[in-house]
């Protein structure tokens, strides 16, 4: 039923674009016949917006990867720099939560580790919705912030880093075999504000996969059993994403977009002072409205990165209508 609804939505979107195209072309012809420049101008503006909608649908239609339709886990980790980077990690987490909210995706905080003074050391979010992983898979990498620090009494400019890691949530159709003997399982007391038992029992679970060094953790449930089950699912999802990435690298030679995620691999810079600019270092897409971007308006960056991965270049810009 879910697949049927998705197909019906896709067909409906296509029909709306097609009908809108012919309706606005008819309006332009009518306006030109009657010499009504306002009608022509409004129809041309509507066609440009329709072209942007069609471009977004084109990218979405090309999300045909093995796990693109799945829900996704998104991890944010503060870099070196203490409170500055931890505050930046919290800002990034909020950005993705707002983006998901705007798309009417459901979100669940799986793990959150608060900073000593402010912000977050890390946060893991489960984002549920059609194509959640497909849309966000190019967001993995290092995000850089430049601003006047609100924590510096001398009002100096600081540069902060945080990393984002995106991997798909796996369903029952995908079988991932993980040997428990290859893992180290630790329990610990959850941090932060919580319910009656959250901070009084060792309910939080951390699993380390020794062969790969992958570490996952979950503390959002009071039950250690539930946290352990969620952590196992996260580990399987990480191993599955690693295998997908390995296949992708073997199949394609686009080395620039396939490098291993590390602190030297920045994908986007957010500059708040001395000027205001957000720039994606892979695609060259820029925005002079960083407040809007940090409020979740990242579609332009996401679509360009996806188009680059799919086509090997940036998305076609909407052409002016003569």
Residue 321 domain flag: no
Orientation angle between helical segments 299-311 and 37-61, nearest 10 degrees? 60
Same domain, 295 and 236: yes
Same domain, 82 and 43: no
- Tell me the pLDDT tens digit for each residue of 135-169: 999 999 999 999 988 877 777 888 899 999 998 88
User: Domain of 101?
Assistant: 72-311
- Mean pLDDT, rounded, for 22-31: 91
CB 122 within 8 A of CB 107: no
| pLDDT at 317 exceeding the cut of 60 | no
**DSSP per-residue letters across 198-209:** TTTS--EEEEEE
Task: State how many domains the chain has.
Answer: 2
Write down the pLDDT at residue 175: 67
The DSSP bridge pattern shows strands 141-148 and 266-271 to be parallel
pTM, 2 dp: 0.69
H helices then E strands: how many in the chain?
Answer: 7, 11
Same domain, 136 and 220: yes
Same domain, 120 and 18: no
How many CA atoms lie within 13 Å of 213's alpha carbon, on the beta-carbon side? Answer: 0
**For the chain, what percent of residues have pLDDT higher than 70?**
85
Residue 320 domain flag: no
CB 78 within 8 A of CB 88: yes
Residue 57, both tokens: 């649908």
Query: In angstroms, rounded to a whole number, what is the distance separating the alpha carbons of residues 246 and 272?
Result: 36
- Tell me the pLDDT tens digit for each residue of 43-82: 999 999 998 888 778 777 777 777 888 899 999 999 877 8
Write down the pLDDT at residue 234: 87
């Amino acid at each position: 039923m879910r697949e049927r609804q998705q197909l019906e939505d896709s067909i409906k979107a296509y029909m709306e674009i097609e009908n809108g195209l012919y309706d606005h072309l008819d309006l332009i012809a009518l306006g030109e016949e009657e010499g009504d420049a306002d009608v022509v101008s409004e129809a041309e503006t509507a066609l440009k917006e329709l072209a942007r909608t069609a471009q977004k649908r084109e990218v979405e239609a090309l999300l045909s990867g093995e796990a693109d339709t799945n829900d996704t886990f998104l991890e944010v980790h503060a870099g070196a720099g203490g409170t500055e980077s931890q505050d930046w990690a919290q800002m990034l987490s909020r950005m993705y939560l707002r983006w998901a909210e705007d798309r009417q995706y459901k979100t669940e905080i799986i793990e959150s580790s608060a900073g000593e003074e402010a912000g977050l050391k890390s946060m893991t979010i489960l984002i549920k919705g059609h194509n959640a992983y497909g849309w966000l898979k190019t967001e993995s990498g290092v995000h850089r912030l430049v601003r006047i620090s609100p924590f510096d009494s001398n009002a100096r400019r600081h540069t902060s880093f945080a990393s984002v890691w995106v991997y798909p949530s796996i369903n029952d159709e995908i079988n991932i075999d993980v040997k428990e003997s290859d893992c180290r399982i630790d329990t610990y007391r959850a941090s932060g504000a919580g319910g009656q038992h959250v901070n009084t029992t060792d309910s939080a679970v951390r699993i380390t996969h020794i062969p790969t060094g992958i570490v996952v953790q979950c503390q959002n449930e009071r039950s250690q059993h539930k946290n352990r089950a969620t952590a196992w699912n996260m580990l399987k999802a990480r191993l599955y994403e690693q295998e997908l990435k390995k296949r992708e690298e073997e199949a394609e030679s686009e080395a620039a977009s396939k490098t291993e995620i590390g602190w030297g691999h920045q994908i986007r810079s957010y500059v708040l002072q001395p000027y205001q600019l957000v720039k994606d270092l892979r695609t060259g897409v820029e925005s002079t409205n960083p407040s809007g971007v940090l409020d979740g308006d990242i579609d332009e960056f996401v679509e360009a990165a996806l188009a680059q991965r799919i086509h090997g270049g940036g998305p076609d810009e909407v052409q002016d209508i003569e």
